Amino acid sequence: MILHLAAFRWKDDVTEADVSALTAALSEMAEGIPEIKSYTAGANLHLRPAGSDYGVVAILDDAAGLDAYLDHPDHVAVYEKHLGRMIAERSAVQLPIESGSLA
């Protein structure tokens, strides 16, 4: 299995309403992509100094599932409607995980 983590810093003009709309769109999107086994997205709690403003974590079976998720028309639509105009910086990482290791 693969854990995909994306972290974002927002442009200065991004509002809480923008973030709420993005979170709702991502949650709806994730429900419609069968390759996604687990998904969460939300604003950073900022419990430690620095860090990104927002994070997305998806668990998928394999690289083909990751590609299917990232290239899915619903993911592209969320990027075009929300993320593209909000992002100042983005970073991502994919990690191998054992099935059940995040239980």
Task: Give the Cβ contact number of residue 8 at 10 Å.
Answer: 23
Q: Where in the sequence is the domain holding 70, given as residue range(s)?
A: 2-96
Q: Measured between alpha carbons, how far is 10 from 4 in angstroms, rounded to an integer? A: 20
Domain contains 102 = no
CATH number at residue 83: 3.30.70.100
User: What is the pLDDT at residue 98?
Assistant: 85
Q: Name the amino acid, one letter, at 101.
A: S
Asked whether the whole model's pTM tops 0.75, one would answer yes
Query: Rg of the chain over CA atoms, in angstroms?
Result: 14
- The pLDDT tens digits of the residues spanning 6-45 come to 999 999 999 999 999 999 999 999 999 999 999 999 999 9
- The pLDDT tens digits of the residues spanning 60-90 come to 999 999 999 999 999 999 999 999 999 999 9
Q: How many domains does the chain have?
A: 1
Q: Measured between alpha carbons, how far is 23 from 88 in angstroms, rounded to an integer? A: 17
Domain contains 33 = yes
User: What is the pLDDT at residue 50?
Assistant: 85
